[in-house]
Structure 1
Amino acid sequence: MWKIALIDDDRQVLKSMKKLIPLEELDAECVVQAMDGQQGLDKILEHQPDIIITDIYMPVMDGLEMIERLRNSGYDGKIIILSGYSDFEYARKALRLNVDDYLSKPVTLQTIQAVLQKTVDELENSALSRIEHDKLKQKLELYEPYVQKQSVKSLLSGPETGKLHSDLWGHVPKLRSYSRFAVMGIELVRTVRVTDISIPDWNLFRFMISNVLQEILNEECPDAVYSEMFSHHAGIILPIPADAEEAAVKERMVLLAKRIISCVNQYLRLQIRIGLGSIRDGHAEIAVSTEEAFHALRARHAAVSQEVEVYIYDPLLQVDVSPVSRPIHIYQQLADFVRQGQEEKARGVIHEAVKDLAQIGIQKPSQLQKVGEEIWTILSYALYDVGMALEEIVPYEAWHKSLSSVTSVEEFGRWLEQMVQQVCGHHGWYENVKHKQAIQFILDYIHDHFSEDITLQDLAEKVFISRNHLSYIFRNVTGETFNTYLTRVRMEKAKSMIVDGGHLIYEVAGKVGYKNVPYFSTLFKKYTGFNPSDLVKRHS
């Protein structure tokens, strides 16, 4: 309901105006009536009406002075002057004070109604614009964590052609005050436990690894940023203080890497290996450190010990990291474009890859087949993100058989284009890609807010999809219902906290979103097979 203020020193005019204004039709109410400018000023500041109708000449304070003080105080509502004075100087000053209309007494019923209807229409349009702006702002704020993750990923692998590092930098505030960086490359070892797993289990593995790493980084290096990359790889950008000595930094990186490997193995029973890139100056060099880290992993050179798989990049032992030998950049972009169904962009990456392979001397059939096998693994994991299995589109045996006939770099490029075309042309692709961002946002939101009271309806409103349709999409992509997935995430976190120690059962329940401890215990036993107290005893 719109609020109107009437200011005039003639009591009869005030009564007449209140009768003339079709308040009900305008969905309005008269909240202020005053007979001088000072009284009007005080009441307007108190009630903040949307529309003011005021005379100019009044005792104590005239209308123009009242309007000037209102504007100086920040009042931005609509103002209509209704005055017996039609002097040009008054009109000019009124214009300077951003008055919306200037009417001369006497005024007809039709005129006042028309002016007020026009004013209300303008207010409604402004309100709609603000609502749309607020919705857009809210949506951008909700998606900012997703944008930040994508920006970190692009900093690690190098931005897409035509994009600038500065475009990414603005989304990663924790790194802005640093000018030196090193990258830690992480590879999940493909043991029996992580092969042939379901899509929900793969998402859960990603969450659990991310959760363990983030807790360690919060303690050891709070400004570091972590990102999943292609396939079973991830990266951590470590900001380096300007005055830190290189030898001391490397020692800290090795200790951090050892702790990460130990904790992931202890809490998740997963094996990872880590490569450490060199310290680089400037955010544009982060991708170079990434390539170094993964070169160290692939070559298995400069291992820090026989007991733990941590490898340090050594330029004397490794292949030189130049623009033409950057497989991480190529693999990341290929995975992203295929996952998004962008066949033309994927073709561009393939052409770039073929040129690079030729320049660094990878031309033998056995070498090309090894690259093709790596790409199979990368695309398999990439498609998991959109709820698709590569094996169902291009069976591994068919992929391997066609790859075995490739004898040159040129043939390899044509073969890979055909494979990508087959994947992107799959009949079930469009619907998956269409909703991928929404589902990815929801998965990230669950992993970040599992301790809160979140519902599918809340999330449906955040991504502007109906609850029923979102429920269908979520199950289609993840293979599970929203509630089942949320419960699994909470139970895995609870199990990790209990094994870690230091929390009472009721504290664990509260931290994973359950106020009712008996209900939490029932769910925990249903999910794990034993009571929380039993698990505490086993690990005490």
Structure 2
Amino acid sequence: MWKIVIIDDDRNVLQGMKLAIPWKELGAEWAGEATDGEEGFELIRRVNPDLVITDIYMPVMSGLEMIELLRTDQFNGKIVILSGYSDFEHARQAMRLHVIDYLSKPVSVPTLKSVLQKVIDQLHLERLKSREQEELNEKLIQFQPFIEKEWVKSVVSGTLEPSYREDDKLPVPFESWKKANHLVIGVEMVRDIRLNAVSIADLNLFRFAVGNIVKEIANAIFDSYSYSELHGTRCAIVIHLDPPPPQEELRMKLRQLGADVIESVSRYLKINLRIGLGSLKNNWLQMSDSTEEAFRAIELRESPAMKGCELFQWDRTQASPDLSPLTRPVKFYQELISAVKAGQAGLANRIIADQFQLLAARGRFTPTEIQLLAGEMWGIMNYSLYEAGIVWDERSPEELPQQEIVWLTTLDMLERWVAKTVNAICSGREWKGNSKHRQAVDFMLQYLHDNYAEDVTLGELADKVHMSRNYLSDIFKNMVGDTFNNYLTRVRMEKAKELLLEKNMLVYEVANRVGYKNVPYFSTLFKKYIGINPTDLTKRT
């Protein structure tokens, strides 16, 4: 109900107005009355009405003086003046004080009703806009971490829009970047027999798990860092140094981080990693250069940072001569993936043409190198299709292009094959969702991995992303390849497995840590998802 206050020194007017206003029809209620401006001011401050109807000439304090005090007091309600005098100067002052209407006494009932209806319609519209803005602000708050993640990814991969490549365009959370030095560490999951055998949904779990391990170790060694998932099986961590430590100290810390990450991921996830170290940059806009160097170090594997460990340091002096021009594959894949996800075939083809022109400048490639490059490109595109909710083929990603890849022997053939594949994806109708759905599912995945120990429900997350529970359930299953509850349970079981392997906690403590009070039920689920009882796991390792 809209609250209306009436202020007039004539009690007959007050009584007449109360009788004349069609309260129920307007959806309004009487909220109080006063006979002078001072009394009216106190009344309005107390009840905070939506609409004030006031006379101008009143004892103690005039209506205009009262309105001016109200505006100084930040009162934002609507005000209608009802006066027995037509005075231009008063009307001018009323406009300056944002009075919504100025009526002369006596006012007819139809005119009064019309004016009040207009005011209430405006209140309805403003409330609707206010609610929409509140919802928008709420969404922005909820998705702010993902906006920040995309910003970091665009800087790390070199895809940041040119108009944002200035210090004054840095978002507030990243302003410290201006003064710091930066070094990128590239992390790549090795596509061996074990990794190639897992489903895309399981690969997503591995990516989260690797990210958690990387961040935990980096947090113990460096004061400031940023983490970014890149395409396929790659991620990057940016170390921010202000000021940078002595060269030897930094080298020791980087070796420690790399060795600890490789060992921990191998021990807990049974996944092999390769890690590359880019060089130190003194400007945040050069982060992408360090990224390319880090992954080029992994590609070349010519400068081990320490013996017996797949940890490599970028060293331009030892890079192969035919690979010396930096072709920026990280940027290429990131731009290509974005174009494919958006279905922009023309843009994707231009990106492909530019990249293959750079590859051609390197010189000749052997048929084996061409086929390896094709497999890498397909693996990255296939994972990106999953991220976008596209079902390209129900077969495994290794089987899909194999018959075509074996016939690729030249760079031109590879370029035509990549362009044909991308065009087929962009023109296909195999989408299972859109960008809004992908954003909602991304939010849900991150929320689950951050809050798996809590009593998380699909209904709770549906409210957060402003979708119906059933609709969100369908979207989640289509994009992730599993139901919400199954995925949450798998996240909990993988975390429980990691905790048990550390051997710092008893089974009941692990169960409680991942959200289960009932230990027998936890053990049953653990055996179902991991294939072994939790107590047997601790005995075997």
Determine if the TM-score, normalized by the shorter chain, exceeds 0.5: yes
Instruction: Give the whole-Å Cα distance in 2 for the aligned partners of 1:48 and 1:221.
Output: 53
Question: What's the counterpart of residue 494 of structure 1?
Answer: 496
Distance 1:324 1:209, change over 3 A: closer
Query: After the TM superposition, which residues 140-539 of structure 1 pair with which residues of structure 2 at under 5 Å, given as runs?
Result: 140-159=140-159, 164-166=164-166, 169-170=170-171, 173=174, 176=177, 178-242=179-243, 244-318=245-319, 324-386=326-388, 392=394, 396=398, 399-429=401-431, 431=433, 435-500=437-502, 508=510, 511-514=513-516, 520=522, 523-524=525-526, 526-528=528-530
Distance 1:487 1:252, change over 3 A: same
Does structure 1 retain, via aligned residues, the 8 Å contact 2:432–2:478?
no
Does structure 1 retain, via aligned residues, the 8 Å contact 2:458–2:484?
yes
Give how far 1:508 is off: 4.8
Does structure 1 retain, via aligned residues, the 8 Å contact 2:341–2:388?
yes
Give the SS at the match of 1:281. coil
Does structure 1 retain, via aligned residues, the 8 Å contact 2:389–2:431?
no
Give the SS at the match of 2:129. helix
Instruction: Give the whole-Å Cα distance in 2 for the aligned partners of 1:37 and 1:403.
Output: 85
Question: What's the counterpart of residue 100 of structure 1?
Answer: 100
Instruction: Give the whole-Å Cα distance in 2 for the aligned partners of 1:461 and 1:404.
Output: 49
Bigger mean CA deviation after superposition, 377-386 or 320-329: 320-329
Distance 1:517 1:57, change over 3 A: farther
Does structure 1 retain, via aligned residues, the 8 Å contact 2:325–2:362?
no
Question: What's the counterpart of residue 82 of structure 2?
Answer: 82
Distance 1:393 1:183, change over 3 A: same
Instruction: Give the whole-Å Cα distance in 2 for the aligned partners of 1:536 and 1:47.
Output: 66
Q: Read off the aligned partner of 1:105 and give its amino acid letter.
A: K
Please say if 1:12 is aligned against 2:7. no
Does structure 1 retain, via aligned residues, the 8 Å contact 2:52–2:79?
yes
Does structure 2 retain, via aligned residues, the 8 Å contact 1:337–1:346?
yes
Instruction: Give the whole-Å Cα distance in 1 for the aligned partners of 2:325 and 2:203.
Output: 32
Instruction: Give the whole-Å Cα distance in 2 for the aligned partners of 1:13 and 1:503.
Output: 78
Distance 1:518 1:464, change over 3 A: same
Give the SS at the match of 2:132. helix
Does structure 2 retain, via aligned residues, the 8 Å contact 1:160–1:333?
no
Give the SS at the match of 1:195. helix
Bigger mean CA deviation after superposition, 475-484 or 181-190: 475-484
Q: Read off the aligned partner of 1:279 and give its amino acid letter.
A: L
Instruction: Give the whole-Å Cα distance in 2 for the aligned partners of 1:510 and 1:422.
Output: 48
Give how far 1:276 is off: 0.5
Instruction: Give the whole-Å Cα distance in 2 for the aligned partners of 1:419 and 1:91.
Output: 71
Question: What's the counterpart of residue 71 of structure 2?
Answer: 71
Instruction: Give the whole-Å Cα distance in 1 for the aligned partners of 2:78 and 2:435.
Output: 47
Instruction: Give the whole-Å Cα distance in 2 for the aligned partners of 1:185 and 1:514.
Output: 36
Distance 1:527 1:358, change over 3 A: closer
Q: Read off the aligned partner of 1:155 and give its amino acid letter.
A: V
Give how far 1:99 is off: 1.0
Structure 1: 5+ residue runs without aligned partners?
Answer: none
Bigger mean CA deviation after superposition, 475-484 or 377-386: 377-386
Does structure 2 retain, via aligned residues, the 8 Å contact 1:181–1:237?
yes
Cα deviation code 1:275-311 (max 9, x no counterpart): 1100012121001001111111112122132232211
Bigger mean CA deviation after superposition, 467-476 or 283-292: 467-476
Distance 1:410 1:491, change over 3 A: closer
Q: Read off the aligned partner of 2:40 and give its amino acid letter.
A: G
Instruction: Give the whole-Å Cα distance in 2 for the aligned partners of 1:53 and 1:433.
Output: 49
Give the number of equivalent residue pairs.
Answer: 539
Give how far 1:74 is off: 0.7
Q: Read off the aligned partner of 1:193 and give its amino acid letter.
A: R
Bigger mean CA deviation after superposition, 289-298 or 388-397: 388-397
Across the aligned residues of Structure 1 and Structure 2, the Cα RMSD in angstroms comes to 3.0
Q: Read off the aligned partner of 1:326 and give its amino acid letter.
A: R
Instruction: Give the whole-Å Cα distance in 2 for the aligned partners of 1:504 and 1:32.
Output: 66
Question: What's the counterpart of residue 117 of structure 1?
Answer: 117
Instruction: Give the whole-Å Cα distance in 2 for the aligned partners of 1:400 and 1:533.
Output: 42
Q: Read off the aligned partner of 1:399 and give its amino acid letter.
A: P
Does structure 1 retain, via aligned residues, the 8 Å contact 2:177–2:284?
no
Bigger mean CA deviation after superposition, 387-396 or 335-344: 387-396
Instruction: Give the whole-Å Cα distance in 2 for the aligned partners of 1:531 and 1:402.
Output: 44
Q: Read off the aligned partner of 1:270 and give its amino acid letter.
A: I
Give how far 1:187 is off: 1.0
**Share of identical aligned residues, percent?**
43
Cα deviation code 1:211-249 (max 9, x no counterpart): 222222333335311111122111111111135333322
Bigger mean CA deviation after superposition, 359-368 or 182-191: 359-368
Bigger mean CA deviation after superposition, 236-245 or 45-54: 236-245
Q: Read off the aligned partner of 2:155 and give its amino acid letter.
A: L
